[in-house]
Chains A and B, each alone.
Chain A
Amino acid sequence: MDNLLLVTRPKYDDGTEYLSAYALEVLKEAKKSNASVKDFEGKEANKENVEKYLKSKNPKLIFLNGHGSECEIYGHKEEVIFSLDNVNLLKNKITYARACFSASILGHEIVKNNSGCFIGYIYPFSFWMDGKRSATPLKDKIAGMFLNPSNEIVVSLLNGETAKKANEISKKMMAANMRKILSMEQKNEPGATGMLQILWDNYEGQVVLGNEEMCF
């Protein structure tokens, strides 16, 4: 299995536009490493393309962006890419799904009886955004508080960290952002508590399943 990174970046609503934009930052980091990247963007993020690539190239690291549920991860316009019917394609790999509830059931099935690893969420992956910045997600400092720590998972994996360590680094960044938000609250900046509780939910909901010592 080569050092291949497969990324899905559907883009069809506010949430996926933001996830897609922030995932591009990870792709920039990947270019600095020795990883080869296959990026399925927009309508290219569909089941047919992803399955074909997985079967032919056998990438080791999978970074899925988009919406999800307990048993499914979606691509463009909520077309199902992964469900309980094709989880075998993700076995013995490192998968990070930046998608709601992906670690509730699907993630457990992915790591069952193999040496792979899955990082995802047992709760919704949620984030506040500033509507004034929605045309330029990367300039949205509010959304960055939530999305940059999740980017750090893949960046850490690209840097050779284990899945366990990548999750810890991501959570440290979340904790640092929570401290920043607490200091905003002390200055009576509006909305700080609302931001803190969503970031806390992401913190508690982010889990590593399976082989935590797996590296890219």
Chain B
Amino acid sequence: MNEKESISEDIKELVIARLDIMPSTYKLSIGSEGTFTRKQLIEHVIAEDKIGNQITRMQLNFIKALTTGKLIETLNKNG
């Protein structure tokens, strides 16, 4: 996913809902992009900028792993 790809409102809402339940004291370090609170992450997702799209990609990647069974397969393999 790059900055120019537009994200559907449904996906954006899902990503924001998941971020919104993170504890307020938690911060996410994303390399040289910096360290972000949940509030800042949500702002980036809404803005659909580079950081917001990176967060969205991570969440979609995770959902794909869940729905395809890849996550469970990985946990079983490494059990």
Does B associate with A?
yes
- A residues within 8 Å of B by Cβ? 13-15, 18, 67-69, 74, 78, 99-101, 123-132, 134, 142, 171-172, 174-176, 178-179, 182, 190-191, 193-194, 196-198, 200-201, 203-204
User: Size of chain B's interface in residues, with CB distance under 8 A?
Assistant: 29
Q: How far is the CB of B4 from chain A (nearest CB, A)?
A: 18
In the bound assembly, the distance between CA atoms of A174 and B78 in angstroms comes to 9
In the complex, which residues of chain B have a beta carbon less than 8 angstroms from the beta carbon of A129? Answer: 26-29, 35
- B residues within 8 Å of A by Cβ? 18-19, 21-23, 25-35, 37, 54, 58-59, 61-62, 65, 71, 74-75, 77-79
Q: Which of B19, B27, B31, B54 has its CB near the most chain A CB atoms (within 10 A)?
A: B31
CB atoms of A198 and B32 under 8 A apart = no
The answer to whether A191 and B62 touch (CB under 8 A), given A14-B35, A175-B74, A178-B75, is: no
CB atoms of B71 and A15 under 8 A apart = no
CB atoms of B27 and A131 under 8 A apart = yes
In the complex, which residues of chain A have a beta carbon less than 8 angstroms from the beta carbon of B71? Answer: 178, 200
CB atoms of A99 and B62 under 8 A apart = no
Q: How far is the CB of B36 from chain A (nearest CB, A)?
A: 10
CB atoms of A15 and B29 under 8 A apart = yes
CB atoms of B31 and A100 under 8 A apart = yes
The answer to whether A191 and B26 touch (CB under 8 A), given A175-B78, A201-B61, A201-B62, is: yes
Nearest residue in B to A179 (C-beta to C-beta)? B75
CB atoms of B79 and A175 under 8 A apart = yes
